[in-house]
Amino acid sequence: MPPKKAPVQEKKSILGRPSNNLKVGIVGLPNVGKSSFFNVLSDTDLGKAANFPYATINPEEARIPVPDPRFDWLCESYKPTSKVPAFLTCIDIAGLTAGASTGAGLGNAFLSHVRAVDGIFQVVRAFDDAEVIHVEGDVDPLRDMEIIQTELRLKDIEWVEKHLEGLKRGGRSLGNTSLADKAKKEEIATVEKVLKTITDESKDVRKAEWTNKEIDVVNSMQLLTAKPVTYLVNLSEKDYIRKKNKWLPKIKAWIDQNNPGDPLIPFSVSLEERLAQLSPEEKEEEQKKIGAPSALGKITNAGYQMLDLIRYFTCGPDEVRAWTIRRGTKAPQAAGVIHSDFENKFICGEIMSYGDLKEHGSEAAVKAAGKLRQQGKPYEMQDGDIAYWKAGG
């Protein structure tokens, strides 16, 4: 008897939009350093860093290059005319205040802006500064994190209850026979599970376990608490340099208890603002002198990872370019990021890994070592692949 085939493992679906053009929103209470952070991150003054709540009303958007030593090495090797790194799209969103879910402050506008992004950089203030007012009166990052979690969850509860009501109204006449009726019933059961998660279990949607079928339903609702979060703790320059702050252990404990596994990155907007004024050489010098690096590269990379993004490269004397795709993307769809014709008329990809190119030193050597592979439609792209696409005429 032939051996039994091992069951094929179903690939886990990802929460969120199945897109390569994903955005991170910078979220926090007013005056915690969001717009100042956005300005240094994007090297602009778009975010109107003013010392009053709601200085940012329309979200400002910037594409920020993601640092990558592999990209730098490829540029050195190919010496191309044009160099295009990977980008992370960041959006500076107005400050949220307690009561936003019921429309307080700029509540409704704020929450619709959060709804439109795919991941959240939550800026938390852990510095004292009498010059910069705090909307709640004093500095207490744990209270601030509670406010944001509560407001996002309350808005989700409101949306889910409304959605469930509509489904149940339409579901009264459902029978048991047709597949469509069955699917509708399953959808209702999933939405009920979502509601139970955010009410009875007091959990964010992204922290619950979902099957692939359930994830399809969850994704269709675009919930605020389904979006991944990275916490950015804004410290004074002094605290950042000495790596000490009375709030940090408490913030870490709060995350472990409420949203275990979420990344926490301490940084200092005031230091980043000071470094932004310097030339690249002076910047390098200053970071050595104080013994603390800028955290911006680390933050942009964290945003990229949080959205499950990877990059592949196309290389040649004209251009070295990093292309952003979602983890799990197959070759034709990855080629389609460059041009839809590449996807529609896809023949194959000639692919080598960055590691092989670096080890062997040149494309010819990679080929000679048998490491240049022809990959067809089922191939799943790996982070750092170098690709040449072949498409039909």
**Binding site per annotation, positions for ATP:** 31-36, 235
Whole-angstrom Cα distance, residue 228 to residue 262? 8
Residue 77 burial by Cβ neighbours in a 10 Å radius (0-12, 13-18, 19+)? middle
Q: What residues are paired with 375 via a beta bridge?
A: 349
- Whole-angstrom distance, CA of residue 343 vs CA of residue 358: 28
Length of the chain: 393
Rounded to a whole number of angstroms, the CA Rg of the chain reads 24
> Residues comprising the binding site?
31-36, 235
**CA 342/CA 353 separation, integer angstroms:** 20
Evaluate whether 81 touches 59 at the Cβ level (below 8 Å). no
Classify strands 319-326 and 385-391 as parallel, antiparallel or unpaired: unpaired
Residue 187 CA to residue 55 CA, distance in Å, equals 41
In the chain, alpha helices (H): 34-42, 69-78, 107-115, 141-171, 179-198, 212-221, 237-242, 248-258, 269-276, 280-290, 296-306, 331-336, 340-344, 354-360, 363-368
Q: Which two tokens stand for residue 76?
A: 């050195």
- Closest by CA to 266, choosing from 286, 282, 249, is 249
Nearest 10 degrees: Cα torsion 306, 195, 176, 212: 10
Q: Please say whether the beta carbons of 55 and 132 come within 8 A.
A: no
Tokens of 148: 């944001």
| C-alpha 231 chain-centroid distance | 12
